[in-house]
Amino acid sequence: MHEISTSRPAPDEYVPFWATGAPAKGEFHCSDCGYGVTIHTKLPRCPMCGGGAWEQTEWHPFTRDRQLT
Ligand SMILES: [Zn+2]
């Protein structure tokens, strides 16, 4: 008999990496140089260093400066 009463420990703050070409939306920054971009469709290659790994930038609910182009 299995007892599944133990509560799982919360996972550490794991920062997933997003690769170039992955469908994404929101703010990301390059994992290499930290260059920040706002993504609406999919992740590009970093224009600064050419890197292809991104981290999602922490979302701040009080920041509401949308850029509609
Ligand atoms: Zn970069």
Expressed in angstroms and rounded, the spacing between residue 52 Cα and the centre of ligand 1 is: 8
Sign, CA torsion 5/11/60/43: negative
Report the pLDDT value the prediction gives residue 40, as an integer from 0 to 100. 95
Dmax of the chain from CA atoms? 59
Average pLDDT in the 11-33 region? Answer: 88
Nearest to 49 by CA among 63, 30, 62: 30
pLDDT surpasses 80 at 28: yes
Stated pTM of the model: 0.62
Average pLDDT of the segment spanning 21-43: 95
Q: Ligand 1 centre and the CA of 36: distance in Å?
A: 8
- Determine the pLDDT at residue 63: 55
Ligand 1 centre to CA of 64 (Å) is: 25
Interatomic CA distance for residues 58 and 40, integer angstroms: 16
Ligand 1 center to 68 CA (angstroms): 24
- Class of residue 58 by CB neighbours under 10 A (exposed 0-12, middle 13-18, buried 19+): exposed
Q: Which residue ranges make up each domain of the chain?
A: 17-56
pLDDT at 5 over 80: no
